[in-house]
Amino acid sequence: MQNSEGLSTTEVLGISKKYAEEHGIDDVVVASTGGETGEKTIDHFDPKKFNVVVVGHSTGFGRTNEQELSEAAVAKIEKAGGKVFVGPMIFHNINSAIGEKEGYSSGDLVADTLRLFGQGTKVALECVLMAADAGLVEAGKSVLSIAGTGDGADTALLIHSANSKNFFDSRVQEVVVKPREVRNLIFY
């Protein structure tokens, strides 16, 4: 595992690409809110050689009926051969609704436990589950998932993919890069 302290998104993507090539990983899933990280990912991972899936926030995440992933970024990613998915977020949508009404949900507990390893860890696992549910990566494969804390990428994990209904079949197989310093392990 490499510590991502002080590394840029571009450097994290470079480390991730080297890892994918050395380990024969074909599937790369990346979280991207506005699209910039997704665009940088297709610059590193050629969608003709890798199954690149960019996962954005669900529509309405920030504001009702608003999609944060820019149309220009989606067009660039798809033109290059990458795939884009926005849809229900495994650890957010229904759990937030239940949490607001009841005070807490079991899904919040899972998400908060994953955040102990960093926000990027929670997001990386969530994006693989979402991509598998959308049929964009196969369940039961080793998938490289790249995510971050707030802005850009600071985490890359090798994840054994699963559909969300089989959440406990998923596994974090290896930590490629993530933040180490407590001040960078932000808990939302």
- pLDDT for res 89: 75
Q: Is the dihedral of CA 14, 20, 21, 23 positive or negative?
A: positive
**What ranges in the chain are assigned the alpha helix state H?**
9-23, 36-44, 71-79, 93-102, 106-115, 119-133
Q: Are 152 and 37 in contact (CB under 8 A)?
A: yes
Between CA 182 and CA 56 the distance in angstroms is 26
Angstrom distances, CA of residue 110 to CA of 4, 103, 128, 138: 24, 15, 15, 23
pTM of the model: 0.89
Output phi, psi for 2, to 5 deg.
Answer: -110, 140
Q: What is the CATH number of domain 2-181?
A: 3.40.1380.20
Mark residue 6 as left, alpha or beta (left: phi above 0; alpha: psi -120 to 50; beta: remaining).
left
Q: Please list the ranges in the chain whose pLDDT falls under 70.
A: 60-62, 67, 92-101, 104-105, 182-188
- pLDDT for res 119: 87
- pLDDT for res 127: 96
Q: What is the pLDDT of residues 88-105, one digit of tens each?
A: 777 765 566 566 667 766
Q: What is the pLDDT of residues 151-179, one digit of tens each?
A: 889 999 999 999 999 999 999 999 999 98
- pLDDT for res 151: 82
Task: Give domain limits for the chain.
Answer: 2-181
Helix (H, G, I), strand (E, B) or coil at 185: coil
Q: Among all chains, which residue has been given the structure tokens 């480390």?
A: 15
Q: Which residues make Cβ contacts (< 8 Å) with residue 167, sequence separation at least 6?
A: 90, 110, 129
- pLDDT for res 96: 61
- pLDDT for res 94: 58
